[in-house]
Amino acid sequence: MTTPDRMHDLCRYIETHAHEPLTLRALSRQAHLSPFHLQRSFKAVVGVTPKQYAEACRMKSLKQKLRGGGTVTEAVYDAGFGSGSRVYERVDTRLGMTPRQYRKGGAGVEISYASSPTPLGTMMIAATDRGLCSLHFGESEAELRARLAKEYPAAKLSPMPPERKSQFAEWIRALSQYLKGSTTALDLPLDVRGTAFQMKVWNYLQRIPYGEVQSYSEVAAGIGRPRAVRAVGSACARNEVALVIPCHRVIRGDGGLGGYRWGLHRKRALIERERAVRAGAD
């Protein structure tokens, strides 16, 4: 059995046993590898550590249980988090909110937003106190504000407050430089929600080199799920943070652009700009 096949089998094992304590040593026995080689091989194939993958699986289970009724405490323990304190320490980095707030559609969560004109139209960024949770393009600030409200129906949305002005200005400046081709990398904090599969796809997309594209089938193969081509397309469509998670770098196998939630003209412009900048650098 090849190492990728062994890691993919281990993924299935983690998904099935995520509600149980899964130590690196126990997983290494399951994979018949030393803990060191398991950690290195798993991250190389999957893109995240075994611990991160297990917590993403628990997160998916927690979301399902929170939506399905029952108490928050029951959902936390049934998902395999082990204690209430652990889930509140870790889960909010994936939900962008506490479990109770997530169940209520973001009630009590404060999200600040700001917009800026760009060559691709109006850009709006929104963030919790942990990082960007939304980056959209549109025709107007009003349109983008309405979209943000639909995305977080119960959250408290407000324009960028004075105390965060410098932070937002820094992020917008970095994004503007990226769109102009002055920089080819974006290192901005993210606060995104997703299933274990979506997080795997999004992590992989961030590793596609600037100026390059891959097909949906290549991405599916890259994450070890070669038959999940449609699911990869769905994960790209569910991406709420354009540019930073570069779903524009994924196209159809025949060379067609495929889909892009912010318009194919923007996807084409981004790909052409990146290729031109890369060609100039070469």
Q: Which domain CATH number covers 232?
A: 1.10.10.10
Beta bridge partners of 123: 116, 137
Does residue 243 come out as left (phi exceeding 0), alpha (psi in the -120 to 50 range) or beta? left
Two structure tokens written together for 169: 């200005």
> CA 200, 201, 205: angle at the middle one, nearest 5?
120
In a domain, 133, yes or no: yes
How many structural domains compose the chain? 3
- Kindly report the number of other CB atoms within 10 A of residue 4's CB atom: 14
Q: Which domain CATH number covers 37?
A: 1.10.10.60
pLDDT in tens, 17-44: 877 778 899 899 999 999 999 988 888 8
Kindly state whether residues 12 and 50 are assigned to the same domain. Answer: yes
Q: Which domain CATH number covers 176?
A: 3.30.160.70
- Kindly report the number of other CB atoms within 10 A of residue 37's CB atom: 13
Q: Are the CB atoms for 24 and 34 separated by under 8 Å?
A: no
pTM: 0.66
Two structure tokens written together for 145: 């504000």
**98 closest CA partner among 115, 122, 112, 81:** 81
Kindly state whether residues 84 and 36 are assigned to the same domain. Answer: yes
Higher pLDDT, 224 or 280: 224
In a domain, 191, yes or no: no
Kindly state whether residues 98 and 140 are assigned to the same domain. Answer: no
Active site annotation includes 57: no
Domain of 14 in residue numbering reads as 3-103
Beta bridge partners of 158: 112
Helices (H), 18-140: 24-31, 35-46, 50-67, 72-78, 84-90, 92-95, 99-103
Kindly state whether residues 33 and 80 are assigned to the same domain. Answer: yes
Kindly state whether residues 66 and 35 are assigned to the same domain. Answer: yes
**Last-in-domain residue among 121, 153, 180:** 180
pLDDT in tens, 213-251: 999 999 999 999 999 999 999 999 999 999 999 999 999
Kindly state whether residues 74 and 114 are assigned to the same domain. Answer: no
